[in-house]
Structure 1
Amino acid sequence: MPEVIFAGPAGRLEGRYQPSKKKGAPIAIVLHPHPQFGGTMNNQIVYNLYYDFVQRGFSVLRFNFRGVGRSQGAFDHGAGELSDAAAALDWAQSVNPDARSCWIAGVSFGAWIGMQLLMRRPEIEGFISIGAMANRYDFSFLAPCPSSGLFVHGSEDRVAPVKEVMAVIEKVKTQKGIQIEHAVIDGANHFFDGKIETLMEEVGLYLDRRVGPKTEEAANQPPPAVPSEEAEAAAAASALPAPAGEPEEGRGEG
Structure 2
Amino acid sequence: MDTDLAGTTALVTGATSGIGRAAALALAARGAHVVVPGRDTARGDATVVAIREAGGTADFAAAELTDAISAHRLAARATELGGGHVDILVNSAGIFPFGPTADSTQADVDSVLAVNVAAPYFLVGALAPEMAARGHGAIINVTTMVAEFGAAGMGLYGASKAALVLLTKSWAAEYGPAGVRVNAVSPGPTRTEGTAAMGEALDQLAAAGPAGRPAQPEEIAQAIVFLATDAASFVHGAVLPADGGRIAV
TM-score by length of 1: 0.47
More helix by share: 2
